[in-house]
Structures are given as C-alpha cells and as structure tokens.
C-alpha cells in the first residue's frame, strides 16, 4: 500500500485515491487528424522508472494531483496540485 502525501490533506492511504493516467499526455490540436486523436485516447507508453501520473483523491479533498512515481519501486518523489509543475 502506498502512502500518498496529498498537498491539500496530508498523508493518506492509497485506498483514498484512484489512478487516472499519464500526466504527460497533451490533447492534440483540433485539426490534428484521426491518428493523433487515436494516440491521445488509446496509445500509452509503459515506462520503467519515473513517471508523472494523475491521481484523484476521491475519498478526501476530491482534487486531482500529479504524482511522480517510480513504476518499479513505487517510490513517490513528488505530489503536487494540477497547476504545479512536478519537475
Ligand atoms: Zn486530498
């Protein structure tokens, strides 16, 4: 079980959060084409190591946070609000 330090609530158990996906994906321009939107919706990297992710604190403040997590060790390096840069 991970212990996630929500920037709004403090340390909370992973059970209070839902993983919501890769935080590095950016929406393509409106006329970027079908392939760009297919990749935006379905294509994801499966990185080994550090990765920036969206998590939703659904059982707490109900805010989305960006978590920098190591996908091998599950170590969490940073947890920030959606408008704060994680790097
Ligand atoms: Zn929270």
pLDDT digits (tens, 9 = 90+) for 30-72: 999 999 999 999 998 888 999 999 999 999 999 999 999 999 9
Supply the CATH number for residue 44's domain: 3.30.2270.10
Return all residues near 21 (Cβ < 8 A) that are at least 6 apart.
44, 53, 54
Q: Is residue 86 part of a domain?
A: no
| Number of domain units in the chain | 1
Q: Is residue 85 part of a domain?
A: no
Phi-psi region of 29 (alpha: psi -120 to 50; beta: other; left: phi over 0): beta
Range of the domain at 66: 3-24+32-80
Measure the CA–CA gap between 43 and 46, rounded to whole angstroms.
10
pLDDT at 13: 97
Q: What's the 3 CA to ligand 1 centre distance in angstroms?
A: 12
Q: Is residue 72 part of a domain?
A: yes
The model carries a pTM of 0.84
Measure the CA–CA gap between 55 and 47, rounded to whole angstroms.
17
Q: Is residue 9 part of a domain?
A: yes
Whose tokens are 């996906």? That residue is: 21
Q: Is residue 57 part of a domain?
A: yes
Q: What's the 61 CA to ligand 1 centre distance in angstroms?
A: 4
Q: What's the 23 CA to ligand 1 centre distance in angstroms?
A: 17
Whose tokens are 């790097």? That residue is: 87
Higher model confidence: residue 61 or residue 82?
61
Q: Is residue 74 part of a domain?
A: yes
């Amino acid at each position: 079980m991970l212990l996630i330090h929500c920037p709004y609530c403090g340390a909370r158990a992973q059970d209070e959060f839902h993983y919501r996906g890769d935080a590095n994906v950016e929406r393509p321009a409106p006329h970027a084409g079908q392939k760009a939107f297919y990749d935006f919706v379905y294509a994801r990297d499966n990185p080994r190591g550090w990765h920036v992710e969206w998590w939703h604190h659904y059982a707490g403040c109900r805010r989305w946070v960006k978590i920098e997590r190591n996908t091998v060790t599950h170590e969490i390096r940073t947890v920030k609000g959606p408008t704060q840069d994680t790097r």
